[in-house]
Amino acid sequence: MMNSWPRKEHFMNSPNQPEPDTGARLEEISTFLRRLPVFRETPVEVLKLYAYLAQKEQYCAGEVIIKQGRPSDRMYLIVKGTVSLCEERNDQRFFLQDLNESELNYFGELALLAQFDWFFSAQAVTDVTLLSISREAFIKIHERFPEQYPLAVERIVKLRVDRFVHQVDYLLDHLPKEAWKECRTANSEPTDKNL
């Protein structure tokens, strides 16, 4: 039976260097993936499949990586550079979060679990090198290692909850006082008719 998985270009080496052997390249990408929270506890044999199926993507400063409203299909991991996440509403772009290789270094993790339209846009603030993992690759890996699927889903959901909390904290810290409203309790009358 022939392997249907695509061959990948080498990852972190300069294009002017000769192609490293596959084992060294997979080890290099696996080491990078192991640093990220979503892959930290992933078994080595599963991690190597992620490394093999990952794709390198490069964007120049100012270039759009994903556009809100378009179909999602992959998770992005930041190898180098800074990416800004924004939401577009009423012809305006609202800042959500900046991500870089040293801190929150991934986005689009929910695209591994389900198909949906992106609910934010991502743009390169600096020149950016990304590693992407498609939903198709994620499914192939978990067809081979089905016992890892519930653990992967749990990690992705926990990371998304952490990201959501971080974004809400930022937005609440920057919300004007006139936008704050008290929450109602079961025994209280609303103080604002818009509630």
Q: Where do the H-state alpha helices sit in 54-194?
A: 135-144, 149-173
Could you tell me how far CA 169 lies from the centroid of its own chain? 19
Residue 111 pLDDT > 70, yes or no? yes
* Averaged pLDDT, 2-27: 51
Residue ranges making up the domain that contains 108: 55-134+144-169
Instruction: Write the pLDDT tens digit of every residue in 130-168.
Output: 999 999 999 999 999 999 999 999 999 998 898 889 878
Q: Is residue 14 included in any domain, yes or no?
A: no
> Domain total for the chain?
1
Question: Is 150 a domain residue?
Answer: yes
> Which residue carries 């749990």 as its tokens?
154
Q: For residue 123, is it within any domain?
A: yes
Q: Is the dihedral of CA 41, 29, 102, 85 positive or negative?
A: negative
CATH code of the domain containing 99: 2.60.120.10
With respect to residue 62, please indicate whether it lies within any of the assigned structural domains.
Answer: yes
CA distance 42 to 29: 14
Residue 80 covered by a domain: yes
Residue 148 lies in a domain: yes
Note whether residue 139 is domain-resident.
no
Q: For 14-24, how does the pLDDT look when each residue is reduced to its tens digit (9 = 90+)?
A: 343 445 567 78
**Is residue 47 domain-resident?**
no
